[in-house]
C-alpha cells in the first residue's frame, strides 16, 4: 500500500539518527497509550479507529444530506470555529480551484464559512451576499455553547427564516453537535433540524473525519469515501512500534528536536492550496501540546510567498526552530514558462520548464539553505492533492499528535487554557452568573 512518507535525513545536527532511534522505546510506550487507551485523556480517543469504524450508513446519510443541500442552495454557510471549522476549511481549500469564489457561472453550490470570528463587517457582508439567495446552514458546535458560532447562527437563522419562511428554513438547516447536551441540541430538537452527532469521545480538533468535516466537504462536492479510505489506510499503517511507523517517526523526531532546544516547528508548504492545512495543524498541535509550561510552538508559512517576508528570520534568526515541509509530488495541471525573444527579465534559461519544476527547485534550494543555516528539516511527501492522500495526511498528523503529546508528558486531549479569554469576555459583557468576575476584571482595568 502506498502511503505518505516522512524523511528525517535532513533533521540531523543538533540531534543524530541515533538520538531518534534511542527514542523508540519511549515512543512505543506513547503509541501504546494512544492505541490501548492507557494514557491521560483516554476518554477522548474516539478518533483513533474512526476511519475504519465509520459505517457505510452514516457516510450515505452525509452524502444524501449534502446532495439535498447542493440541489436546493446556491450557498451553504458552515458555522463553526476551531475544530468545528478548520478541518473542513483545510480539505476544501486543498481540493478547490483557487479561484472558485470568482467563478460565478458554474452553478455549483458555494460553501462559505461563518462563526469563526466576531467581525461585524464580515457578518454584515455575508448577510448582504446571501440577500435574496437560496442558502442553507450547517451549524457545527460540539459543546453547542460557543459564543462566536452562536452569534453567527442567530443572524443567519433570522435571515433564512425571513427569506424562506420558518418551515423551509428548518429544512435547510443541519446541526452537528453533541448527542444529548448543549443549547444547539435543544434548539435542533425544538426546530426539527436534521442533525448529526459528534461523539463524546472525539475532541473538536480531532473531528474532521466525523460529520463535522465530512458534511461540509461533501457539500463542496468532494469524495468523502476516498478521504475516509485514505485515513483508514493510514490507521492500519500506524500501529507498529517501529520507526517505520511514519507517525511514530515524526513524533519521535520532533520531540528529539524539542529536547535539543528547538522550541518552534514551522510547517511549510510550497502549494498555496495548503494554507488552511497549516491552520488546521496549528490547532491540532497547539491545543494538544501547549500546556503545563511546555510544548513546541506550531507556526506555519506558505512558500515561496513567505520566503519574501519570513525567509530572513528562518535563515538567520534565533536557532531554536525546525521546519517540517509538506511536499506535494505532482501538481494537477501542466504549465510551462514561455520563451521571450527580448528576454528582458532574463528568464529564458528556464523557458519550456514546468512551473512545478521551478517550484520544486525552489523547495530543494530552500531546504538546503535552511539546513545549512542550522534549521533541521523534516519532509513529508504526498503524491498529490487528492482526497485519499489528504485523508492519509490528516490521520498521520492526528496519530503523531497523540504519540507526541504523550512523549512530551502532557494530556494531549484537553485544552483548559482556552477558557481564560472566555471568562474575561463573559465578565466584560456582564453575562449573568459572572458578577464576581466582572467586579474583579473591572478592578484590573
Ligand X SMILES: O=P(O)(O)OC[C@H]1O[C@H](O)[C@H](O)[C@@H](O)[C@@H]1O
Write out the residues near ligand X by the rule CB under 6 A: 81-84, 141-143, 146, 149, 204-205, 287, 415, 418
The smaller minimum CB distance to ligand X, of residues 204 and 376, is found at: 204
The smaller minimum CB distance to ligand X, of residues 293 and 416, is found at: 416
The smaller minimum CB distance to ligand X, of residues 205 and 370, is found at: 205
The smaller minimum CB distance to ligand X, of residues 279 and 356, is found at: 279
Q: In whole angstroms, what is the distance from residue 284 CA to residue 230 CA?
A: 19
What does residue 141 show for φ and ψ, rounded to 5 degrees?
A: -160, 120
Q: In whole angstroms, what is the distance from residue 361 CA to residue 246 CA?
A: 25
Rg (CA), the chain: 23
Annotated active-site residue 287? The verdict is: yes
Closest to 385 (Cα-Cα) out of 4, 112, 78: 4
Beta bridge partners of 326: 269, 380
3-state SS, residue 63:
helix
- Which letter, b or e, does each residue of 122-142 get, where b requires 16 or more Cβ atoms within 10 Å of its Cβ? ebeebbeebeeeebbbbbbbb
Catalytic residue (one of 180, 422, 430, 435)? 422
Neighbours of 55 (CB within 10 A): 8
Do residues 336 and 355 lie in contact, with contact meaning Cβ atoms separated by under 8 Å?
A: yes
Residue 200's Cβ-side half-sphere holds a number of Cα atoms within 13 Å equal to: 6
Q: Is the dihedral of CA 279, 363, 250, 298 positive or negative?
A: negative
The smaller minimum CB distance to ligand X, of residues 84 and 392, is found at: 84
The minimum distance between CB 183 and ligand X, in angstroms, equals 11
The minimum distance between CB 268 and ligand X, in angstroms, equals 24
The minimum distance between CB 121 and ligand X, in angstroms, equals 22
The smaller minimum CB distance to ligand X, of residues 8 and 91, is found at: 91
The minimum distance between CB 366 and ligand X, in angstroms, equals 32
The smaller minimum CB distance to ligand X, of residues 143 and 320, is found at: 143
The minimum distance between CB 276 and ligand X, in angstroms, equals 15
The smaller minimum CB distance to ligand X, of residues 416 and 432, is found at: 416
Annotated active-site residue 422? The verdict is: yes
The minimum distance between CB 434 and ligand X, in angstroms, equals 17
The minimum distance between CB 247 and ligand X, in angstroms, equals 21
Do residues 329 and 381 lie in contact, with contact meaning Cβ atoms separated by under 8 Å?
A: yes
What does residue 110 show for φ and ψ, rounded to 5 degrees?
A: -100, 135
The minimum distance between CB 143 and ligand X, in angstroms, equals 3
Which positions ≥6 away from 317 have C-beta within 8 Å?
none
Neighbours of 336 (CB within 10 A): 14
249 is written with which cell numbers?
517517526
Catalytic residue (one of 93, 148, 233, 287)? 287
Strands (E), 118-233: 135-141, 173-177, 194-197
Q: State the maximum Cα–Cα separation within the chain, in Å, rounded to a whole number.
A: 75
Closest to 263 (Cα-Cα) out of 289, 287, 283: 289
The minimum distance between CB 90 and ligand X, in angstroms, equals 13
Do residues 78 and 113 lie in contact, with contact meaning Cβ atoms separated by under 8 Å?
A: yes
Long-range contacts of 146-149 (CB under 8 A, 24+ apart): 146/81, 146/82, 146/84, 146/115, 147/118, 147/422, 147/425, 148/81, 148/115, 148/116, 148/117, 148/118, 149/79, 149/80, 149/81, 149/84, 149/114, 149/115, 149/116
The smaller minimum CB distance to ligand X, of residues 290 and 374, is found at: 290
Q: Which residue numbers are catalytic?
A: 287, 422
Amino acid at each position: 500500500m502506498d502511503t505518505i512518507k516522512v524523511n528525517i535525513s535532513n533533521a540531523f545536527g543538533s540531534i543524530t539518527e541515533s538520538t531518534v532511534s534511542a527514542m523508540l522505546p519511549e515512543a512505543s510506550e506513547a503509541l501504546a497509550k494512544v492505541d490501548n487507551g492507557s494514557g491521560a485523556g483516554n476518554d477522548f480517543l474516539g478518533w483513533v479507529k474512526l476511519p475504519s469504524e465509520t459505517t457505510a450508513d452514516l457516510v450515505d446519510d452525509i452524502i444524501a444530506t449534502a446532495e439535498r443541500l447542493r440541489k436546493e442552495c446556491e450557498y451553504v454557510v458552515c458555522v463553526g470555529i476551531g475544530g468545528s471549522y478548520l478541518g473542513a476549511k483545510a480539505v476544501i481549500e486543498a481540493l478547490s480551484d483557487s479561484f472558485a469564489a470568482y467563478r460565478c457561472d458554474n452553478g455549483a453550490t458555494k460553501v462559505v464559512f461563518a462563526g469563526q470570528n466576531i467581525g461585524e463587517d464580515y457578518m454584515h457582508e455575508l448577510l448582504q451576499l446571501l440577500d435574496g439567495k437560496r442558502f442553507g446552514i450547517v451549524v457545527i458546535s460540539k459543546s453547542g455553547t460557543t459564543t462566536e458560532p452562536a452569534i453567527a447562527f442567530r443572524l443567519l437563522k433570522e435571515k433564512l427564516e425571513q427569506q424562506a419562511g420558518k418551515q423551509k428554513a428548518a429544512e435547510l438547516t443541519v446541526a452537528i453537535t453533541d448527542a444529548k447536551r448543549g443549547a444547539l441540541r435543544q434548539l435542533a430538537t425544538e426546530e426539527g433540524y436534521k442533525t448529526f452527532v459528534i461523539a463524546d469521545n472525539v475532541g473538536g480538533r480531532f473531528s474532521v473525519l466525523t460529520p463535522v468535516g465530512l458534511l461540509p466537504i461533501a457539500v463542496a462536492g468532494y469524495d468523502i469515501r476516498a478521504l475516509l479510505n485514505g485515513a483508514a489506510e493510514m490507521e492500519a499503517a500506524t500501529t507498529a512500534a517501529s520507526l517505520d511507523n511514519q507517525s511514530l517517526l515524526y513524533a519521535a523526531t520532533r520531540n528529539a528536536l524539542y529536547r535539543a532546544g528547538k522550541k518552534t516547528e514551522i510547517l511549510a508548504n510550497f502549494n498555496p492550496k495548503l494554507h488552511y492545512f497549516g491552520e488546521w495543524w496549528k490547532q491540532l498541535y497547539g491545543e494538544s501540546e501547549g500546556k503545563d509550561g511546555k510544548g513546541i510552538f506550531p507556526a506555519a508559512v506558505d512558500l515561496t510567498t513567505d520566503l519574501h517576508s519570513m525567509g530572513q528570520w528562518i535563515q538567520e534568526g534565533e536557532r531554536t526552530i525546525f521546519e517540517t515541509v509538506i511536499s506535494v509530488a505532482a501538481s494537477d495541471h501542466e504549465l510551462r514558462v514561455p520563451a521571450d525573444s527580448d528576454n528582458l527579465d532574463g528568464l529564458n534559461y528556464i523557458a519550456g520548464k514546468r512551473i512545478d519544476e521551478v517550484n520544486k527547485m525552489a523547495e530543494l534550494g530552500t531546504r538546503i539553505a535552511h539546513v545549512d543555516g542550522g534549521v533541521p528539516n523534516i519532509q513529508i511527501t504526498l503524491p498529490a492533492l487528492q482526497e485519499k492522500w489528504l485523508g492519509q495526511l490528516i490521520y498521520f498528523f492526528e496519530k503523531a499528535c497523540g504519540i507526541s503529546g504523550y512523549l512530551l508528558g502532557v494530556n494531549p486531549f484537553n485544552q483548559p487554557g482556552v477558557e481564560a479569554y472566555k471568562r474575561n469576555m463573559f465578565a466584560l459583557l456582564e453575562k449573568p452568573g459572572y458578577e464576581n468576575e466582572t467586579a474583579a476584571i473591572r478592578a484590573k482595568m
